[in-house]
Amino acid sequence: MNAVSKKLRELEQNVLELPEDNEINLYIRDDAEMALHERAHKIKQPLQETAKDIMFSGKLTFEQQNARAEELFKELSQAEQRIINESEKFIRFRLMRLLFKQFSPVFPKVHHSEVWQRIVWFFGEMDTLVIAKAIEDSEWDFNRDEDDPTFDDYAWWSELEKKIRGYFPDGVFTKESYEAVERFFDEKQAQFIRDYWEAHPEEFKDYMEQIDKKLESLKSKQATMPK
């Protein structure tokens, strides 16, 4: 098994880590990753015409489009689905890190994590916005009859908003959706810290002893302070 085939196999099994920033440029120089994208493209090619018809024919409602898309994806084997998902994950990550590398230098390093969070939030919210727009287009094409004498434009927009909120209760590009991203990163960081201490129990013990000593020192100082 040559190096490219071996790495591709590992990529397909989802065990390789995403590229480091110094590996992220406008061009992908990793032969194995390029081979992964090429394989994903070949898998998707026979389905492209059907996928276009599902998305752009104007004959299907949003719900019907979703159902047909799921059926189409299920025609692929699990290995093929994994290759497509991995390819899209790598491309998306590269795009996000390219943006990060472009904008982060204008901020102090202490704010770089916030820049990254906002980029992750932006990409997630754009996904939401695309789906919300698809729902709106579907409702406009199939559930809007302006020729009906009883048609109420305000009520129609209100019902549309209610339907979109059914899928996305927090809305799009809202304070709440950004706070959800912050919580995700906080939990991820907390888990990283827990995993580190569990893997280094002696270091954790020394660290806690230092904390206890500092607390005792503070208590001693407070006890000697005039009241």
User: Could you tell me which of 48, 46, 17 has the C-alpha nearest to residue 32?
Assistant: 17
In percent, how much of the chain has pLDDT > 90? 45
pLDDT at 199: 92
Q: Which pTM value belongs to this model?
A: 0.75
Task: Provide the residue ranges of all domains of the chain, joining segments of one domain with +.
Answer: 1-105
User: What is the Cα–Cα distance from 116 to 188, expressed in whole angstroms?
Assistant: 14
Contacts of 118 (CB under 8 A, 6+ apart): 178
Q: Taking 70 as the threshold, does the pLDDT of residue 6 lie above it?
A: no
pLDDT higher for 25 or 140? 140
Mean pLDDT of 193-217: 89
Q: Taking 50 as the threshold, does the pLDDT of residue 226 lie above it?
A: yes
Q: What angle do CA 22, 26, 28 make, to 5 degrees?
A: 75
Q: Taking 50 as the threshold, does the pLDDT of residue 35 lie above it?
A: yes
- Six-digit token pair at 33? 């990753």
